[in-house]
Amino acid sequence: ESCPIFEKIINFIKINKLDNNNDVYIIQLGSSSGRDLEFFYNYYPKLNYISTDINDEILNFQKEKYNYQNFKFYKCYAEDIDKCINYFQLEDKTIIMFSVGSLQYVTPFFIKDFFSKIKKVKNLNLFINDPVDLPFIDSEKDLSKYRGKTSFSHRYGKYAKEFEIIEEKIIRPYAKNDLIHKHTGHYYLHLKT
């Protein structure tokens, strides 16, 4: 329940009958180990997959581990995702893009840039499931807030106000008396261009 993104993407693919469509590309922003993409590959081996990350070491590890013909790899920051889309010539393809915990590491300036760039991509569905600071979300102030050494809480829906928002919700998975996690929530968003 705290991380509905996997079930939501599977349902989206089923409902839209995309499971055997070789013009569908699933792109993960900040793919780390690559296990999330492999999860979807195990369900839908005929779709195309693009792993993005900022680290060569991670991408090289994935290239060895996931030696599937329909897996591609691209080094880029989230705000440069347009370069990935252009590189693989995806302008007329169906794109399912997702982030599980990665967009929190993008600064507010670049998260705005990211949304500005994906706005130009047609036939894209973006799914986000990232952690957020609940007191920040509840305050309804600002678009983003620094949340630690390297991460931010973002109001993704506010950045995406020019998109069609399919679903947006704040998930509160921890008890209010949990001393360590009580202020941590998950921001789930599904939008389309």
CA distances from 109 to 101, 118, 132, 137 (A): 18, 15, 17, 19
CB 114 within 8 A of CB 106: yes
Q: What pLDDT score does 133 carry?
A: 96
AA identity, residue 191: L
Q: What pLDDT score does 179 carry?
A: 92
Q: What pLDDT score does 140 carry?
A: 85
Kindly report, residue by residue over 38-59, the tens digit of the pLDDT. Answer: 999 999 999 999 999 999 999 9
Res. 149: pLDDT tops 90: no
Res. 1: pLDDT tops 90: no
> What is the mean pLDDT of the segment spanning 154-168?
96
Which pTM was predicted? Answer: 0.96
How far is 183 from 174, CA to CA, in rounded Å? 8
Mean per-residue pLDDT of the chain: 96
DSSP three-state, residue 74: strand
In the chain, pLDDT over 70 holds for what percent of residues? 100
Kindly report, residue by residue over 98-133, the tens digit of the pLDDT. Answer: 999 999 999 999 999 999 999 999 999 999 999 999
Which residue pairs, CB below 8 angstroms and at least 24 apart, start in 54-60? 54/30, 58/31, 58/32, 58/33
Kindly report, residue by residue over 131-142, the tens digit of the pLDDT. Answer: 999 999 999 889
Q: Which two three-digit tokens encode residue 59?
A: 């991408």
| Cβ within 8 Å of residue 191, ≥6 positions away | 125, 126, 160, 163, 164, 165, 166
